[in-house]
Structure 1
Amino acid sequence: MASAFLIGEKFRHKVTELLSNTDLSLPEALKRELEELLENQPAILSFSTARKLQQHLRDKEHPLFLHELLEDSSLHLPEVVKPPRNPELVARLEKIKAKLANEEYNRMTRNVNAQEINRSGTVADFGRQVRSVKAVVVTVFNFLVTVVAAFACSYMGSQYLFTEITTRVISAVIAASVVGLAELYVLVRTMEGELGEP
């Protein structure tokens, strides 16, 4: 935090004139501070000395103001000295960074499997896919056999009720359709149950 001014040439010139002016009668303590200030290089004016000078100029009703003196001056910002870091803290931070990096690596590689046979998946994945296809083929085959059997039974059984072939075919188609729809309903409910399981 700034607590002083780094004075410029205008301040030096004006303060030299003020010190040589006998009418202004600067207090001895302020006069000594200003003389020491002008001797130093770089000259640093503290805020307290600047306040004293401003108060004295105001009391004597001098036409010169402090802001005019400090026009080419700048704030003196002392260099901040960083304290040395605690070695225990640095070691703990390194451990935490390593742990976080390891967790990130594990998160990124958790779905990588070393048993891959090729880019399409593992042997276990291939077995699951074959079982899934096998189940679908068996289900479709079972559906077709059931519908065809229902049609055949209805056609053969309707010969005792109807004499015309057209009527027998229509009754067999109706019976096969009812059985097919029932089979589809059961199939959909079964698949819903399988998909709903976690």
Structure 2
Amino acid sequence: MASAFVVGETFRNKVTELLENPDLSLPKGLREELEETLEKAEPTTLSFSTARKLKKYLQDKGHPFYLHELLEDSSLHLPEVVKPPRNPELVARLERIKARLANEEYNRITRNVNAQELNRSGPLADIGLQVRSAKAVVVTVFNFLVTVVATFACSYIGSQYLFTDTTARVISAVIAASVVGLAELYVLVRTMEGELGEP
């Protein structure tokens, strides 16, 4: 916090005139403070208390100089803030707390990641699952085709005892194969629907 002014040449010149003026009888304490201020090395500082005394004196004497005129090229003296050294125990404790918080954050982010599950369900496991699924589909389609073809063949061969005409035999074989094929599709759809409905 500021407690003094850094005075400029205007202040120096006007205060020097005040001190050299024999008509003015400056109080002894104020004169000493002003002389001491002018003798200081650069940067020359003027305390607020001395500035107040000078202002009061100028007001009381009705002097033509005003304090703001004296300090027009001056500035506030802001002393450097000296930071106290940090306590090493406190620094070490803060570092431990930061490390613990970072570890907790990492654990919170990765709590739903399991390395064993990653290894178990990696790309190779996915390929094996897909191969098994594709194999099941191929077997089902092959089973469907064999059933329909076998039904057609049995109906065609068996219908020779009923029909002598080849066209009638083919039509009866197609009808029988269609009925068996539709029944097979119904069973297949119900089975797949049951598998998909399982959680």
Kindly provide the amino acid, as one letter, of the partner of residue 81 in structure 2.
V
Correspondence for 1:21: 21
Distance 1:13 1:126, change over 3 A: closer
Over the residues paired in the alignment, what is the CA RMSD in angstroms?
A: 3.9
Offset of residue 12 of structure 1: 0.7
Find the aligned partners of 1:177 and 1:63 in 2 and give their Cα distance. 120
Q: Is the 8 A contact 2:5 2:48 kept in 1?
A: yes
Correspondence for 2:134: 137
Find the aligned partners of 1:183 and 1:144 in 2 and give their Cα distance. 10
Offset of residue 191 of structure 1: 4.3
Q: Secondary structure at the match of 1:75?
A: strand
Offset of residue 140 of structure 1: 0.9
Find the aligned partners of 2:190 and 2:53 in 1 and give their Cα distance. 100
Correspondence for 1:183: 188
Find the aligned partners of 2:191 and 2:61 in 1 and give their Cα distance. 108
Offset of residue 98 of structure 1: 4.8
Distance 1:181 1:30, change over 3 A: farther
Kindly provide the amino acid, as one letter, of the partner of residue 15 in structure 1.
V
Q: Secondary structure at the match of 2:5?
A: strand
Correspondence for 2:41: 41
* Alignment partner of 1:10 is 2:10: yes
Gapped regions of structure 2 (runs ≥ 5)? none
Correspondence for 1:118: none
Q: Secondary structure at the match of 1:26?
A: coil
| Percent sequence identity over aligned pairs | 47
Q: Is the 8 A contact 2:155 2:176 kept in 1?
A: no
Point out the structure with max Rg over C-alpha: 2
Q: Secondary structure at the match of 1:72?
A: coil
Find the aligned partners of 2:181 and 2:60 in 1 and give their Cα distance. 118
Find the aligned partners of 1:12 and 1:168 in 2 and give their Cα distance. 127
Kindly provide the amino acid, as one letter, of the partner of residue 79 in structure 1.
E
Find the aligned partners of 2:18 and 2:190 in 1 and give their Cα distance. 108
Q: 2:148 aligns with which of 137, 148, 151?
A: 151
Gapped regions of structure 1 (runs ≥ 5)? 116-120
Aligned residue pairs, count: 187
Q: 1:169 aligns with which of 150, 174, 181?
A: 174
Find the aligned partners of 2:24 and 2:187 in 1 and give their Cα distance. 116
Instruction: Choose 9-18 or 53-62, whichever is displaced more.
Output: 53-62
Offset of residue 30 of structure 1: 2.2
Find the aligned partners of 1:63 and 1:185 in 2 and give their Cα distance. 112
Offset of residue 5 of structure 1: 1.0
Q: Is the 8 A contact 2:7 2:45 kept in 1?
A: yes
Q: Deviations over 1:146-175 (max 9, x none)?
A: 422452465446977994524642563465
Correspondence for 1:31: 31
Offset of residue 45 of structure 1: 0.6
